[in-house]
Chain A
């Protein structure tokens, strides 16, 4: 080892710093975390907006994540330097290919590890303008930090976020469960199944989905697979569903992102570096192009709903989701979803019938499925909606309170999750 070499000294310093960091953490970590909690705990809890309860645990986990990421970065530097040294006597092209190849692989590895930490995703946080993936990943990674109560996950499209306020549920069901909203806008049943497979290792006790015609009859998938699909899930989808699945650009992005994690973080990274305004332009253009008159917009939107092979795919995915939940010991709660009456009445009646029949069949076939029928819910009228699919805050509060009461009655009357083979 040539200690005169500047890069050798730099790498040695990195490695020494890493070891020293772990040593300090082992010896005085507890005290340091306590000190930081005293100093920042309250502010952190406030900023968390109910996403976690224990600020001390939050700080401790983030410090640990920082050390893990730093360690991997130091190892990455060592690998880079080793590849450089190892290939010193080879031809220029070989040296370049090996060093760049090693660096790319390690970088992907680092990003794959980093994407499993809250600390990494906090870097991408931009308040209300944050990318959907950033919100999702922060909340998903915080699941581990949540209190030792039964976990309730809300999943599906943005409709479930509009319908249910997780904070109301957490307040109403304080000692019974802890709810985390992991919706991904634009999701269909296929997306929900794909996303569920990303979080099923957490083994939440309850999964709640709000299913309307939007989830079943409006296309093959939303944007979520671009961020959550991986090769094993694609193989499962092709093997376990009979409906055709076209490998379009969203699915291809998902597969590319699963192979090279940096690709998956492309949009949040672009938003972080270039600012959210550039990326929001597409959404703004879409919003501007929407028909202002709700009735005419409903007529336009109704054209996008079809009973076809895509709706068959959604149905099959829903059954696969119920099956997976049963295997994991998770109770799947299906809320019969609704749309703005203007849109509902423009859709063929058989869609509604098919949706309800599917839910009934699911409840009959799977002991872990609980369906909340439409007539059990609080009514929703035209005035409750802000657009064709989302309700306003007042209606949301009403619905969330109803759901909390319904859950107390239907899910928590007897303690522990209903059905399933929890292992």
Chain B
């Protein structure tokens, strides 16, 4: 059940209708049932996986709360990590690692016949696994108490607006909201509706309009030239529109239910450093990686060398989180290198967006190229096979320098939709204050956004890109 399907809109109408007519306790039960229906719509077999993963973490966290010895607590945490990462590893990485091991052995002359299974990737597994694992770590650290109500915890892991593509919520933020009775104000409803409309604009107008162009560009056999850059830019805007659009819709729907979800995207293409980029792009994942991986590894507390090593390890694993493929690993590594390089270069310099506006625009434009180079590697991860990934990467890296015989007419739509994506980033803080705007500004903006969707939206486009992660 995709957010941009009529089925989802009907489902949401039914859920809202029931939700706002029942007591708080029943509201949570309604949401739980709705969340399991929502997830089961894809493949009801994986409901068991979701339930098993949630049950294990609920039980482990309760035990953690009750256990005093540090070794016992550590063992419990380890078992939670093993269960969660075990599920993730099996469903997402088994084939990749088995295949890679076979190739590696083959390189050393050993005949290997790797066992690969026809494993179907459960949608959203990376998101809910991290959310559930984050919870047990927080309980282990004593940051929060273990949830007492099993159903509330099941809802925390499966809460449908953010279940399949985030934001990856923190227990300390979401669980208290689930426990408390909620009041849905008219301001929250207006903000929620606006976020939904903005999300649909990003997804249907920007991402889905650019999707065929990106598909064409990354599957092309023609000899590339500088015009191929437009496919890279198109992908940069497509993935922003797709993913941040999803997050906006998730947050908007959640506001209609009286629950706040964290902001997942700000203005990632308007920043000038990799560290700033990660403070603006997929914020819930980058902050998760920071808190549960980078900091436990030592963060920046143990000298420069260790800091750089920790950064590289965190980003490479972050890359792998996105998908089981060499390209994602490479992309993570590239992000790590970029962070390390900029960190060494900019050490001691301010990174707060101060300075002459023109210089800031120039730095952002320059850094956008660095980001886009990363997107080329990332997009190659969707090519289907390692050979194709490398061939496409080579296609871009070698061909893009050739001068074009003429400018492609496709630059115009990419620039126009890119400007729209940039506008949403530039105004991201303002978008959050919709209910405080004047009525005229609200209605004109809403009308413009609805007209944009009606006039330029693609209603039979593909699914959200991040569902595959």
Interface secondary structure of A, over-half rule: helix
Among B443, B447, B456, point to the contact of A269 (Cβ < 8 A).
Answer: B456
A262: Cβ under 8 A from any B Cβ: yes
| Distance A263 CA – B457 CA, assembled complex (angstroms) | 9
Q: Is the CB of B456 within 8 A of A104?
A: no
B184 smallest CB distance to A (angstroms): 11
| Binding stretch for chain B, among A138-146, A278-286, A413-421 | A278-286
Q: Is the CB of A273 within 8 A of B447?
A: no
Give every chain A residue within 8 A of B432 (Cβ-Cβ): none
Contact count A vs B, C-beta below 8 Å: 78
A63-117 CB contacts (< 8 Å) to partner B? 80, 84, 91-93, 95-96, 99-100, 103-104, 107
A327: Cβ under 8 A from any B Cβ: no
A83 smallest CB distance to B (angstroms): 9
Q: Is the CB of B413 within 8 A of A84?
A: no
A44 smallest CB distance to B (angstroms): 28
Q: How many residues of B contact A (CB 8 A)?
A: 30
B72: Cβ under 8 A from any A Cβ: no
| Distance A263 CA – B459 CA, assembled complex (angstroms) | 10
A236-280 CB contacts (< 8 Å) to partner B? 249, 253, 260, 262-263, 265-266, 269-270, 273-275, 277-278
Among A99, A269, A277, point to the contact of B439 (Cβ < 8 A).
Answer: A99
B144: Cβ under 8 A from any A Cβ: no
B440: Cβ under 8 A from any A Cβ: yes
Give every chain B residue within 8 A of A104 (Cβ-Cβ): 447, 450
Among A93, A253, A277, point to the contact of B189 (Cβ < 8 A).
Answer: A93
B460, closest chain A residue (CB): A249
| Distance A84 CA – B441 CA, assembled complex (angstroms) | 11
Q: Is the CB of B456 within 8 A of A270?
A: yes
| Distance A252 CA – B451 CA, assembled complex (angstroms) | 19
A328-359 CB contacts (< 8 Å) to partner B? none
| Distance A141 CA – B440 CA, assembled complex (angstroms) | 36
B6, closest chain A residue (CB): A252
B444 smallest CB distance to A (angstroms): 8
Among B212, B410, B447, B460, point to the contact of A100 (Cβ < 8 A).
Answer: B447
Q: Is the CB of B187 within 8 A of A269?
A: no
B186, closest chain A residue (CB): A93
Most buried by A among B213, B410, B413: B413
B216, closest chain A residue (CB): A281
Among A93, A269, A275, point to the contact of B412 (Cβ < 8 A).
Answer: A275
B459 smallest CB distance to A (angstroms): 7
Q: Is the CB of B443 within 8 A of A99?
A: yes
Among B190, B412, B442, point to the contact of A274 (Cβ < 8 A).
Answer: B412
Q: Is the CB of B454 within 8 A of A281?
A: no
| Distance A392 CA – B447 CA, assembled complex (angstroms) | 48
A81, closest chain B residue (CB): B440
| Distance A270 CA – B453 CA, assembled complex (angstroms) | 11
B210-226 CB contacts (< 8 Å) to partner A? 212-213, 216
Give every chain B residue within 8 A of A273 (Cβ-Cβ): 416, 455-456
Among B440, B451, B460, point to the contact of A262 (Cβ < 8 A).
Answer: B451
Contact string, B341-360, partner A, CB cutoff 8 A, digits 1/0? 00000000000000000000
Q: Would A84 and B440 be within 8 Å (CB), given that A93-B189, A273-B416, A277-B409 are in contact?
A: yes
Among A107, A249, A274, point to the contact of B413 (Cβ < 8 A).
Answer: A274
Give every chain B residue within 8 A of A277 (Cβ-Cβ): 408-410, 412-413
Q: Is the CB of B412 within 8 A of A260?
A: no
Give every chain B residue within 8 A of A266 (Cβ-Cβ): 454-457
Q: Is the CB of B190 within 8 A of A93?
A: yes
| Distance A107 CA – B448 CA, assembled complex (angstroms) | 11
A243 smallest CB distance to B (angstroms): 25
Q: Is the CB of A107 within 8 A of B451?
A: yes
Q: Is the CB of A278 within 8 A of B410?
A: yes
A264, closest chain B residue (CB): B454
B275: Cβ under 8 A from any A Cβ: no
Give every chain A residue within 8 A of B454 (Cβ-Cβ): 260, 262-263, 266
Contact string, B413-445, partner A, CB cutoff 8 A, digits 1/0? 100110000000000000000010001101100
A49 smallest CB distance to B (angstroms): 24
Known contacts A93-B189, A263-B454, A273-B416; 8 additional CB pairs below 8 A are: A84-B439, A91-B186, A96-B443, A100-B450, A260-B454, A270-B209, A277-B410, A278-B209
29 A–B contacts from the bound complex (CB under 8 Å):
A7-B440, A84-B443, A91-B186, A92-B187, A93-B190, A96-B443, A100-B450, A103-B443, A103-B447, A104-B447, A107-B451, A260-B454, A263-B454, A266-B457, A269-B455, A269-B456, A270-B209, A270-B456, A273-B416, A274-B209, A274-B413, A274-B417, A274-B456, A275-B412, A277-B412, A278-B209, A278-B410, A281-B212, A285-B216
Which 10 A-B pairs have CB atoms at the shortest separation, nearest pair first?
A274-B413, A93-B186, A277-B409, A99-B443, A269-B455, A262-B454, A278-B413, A275-B412, A103-B447, A100-B446
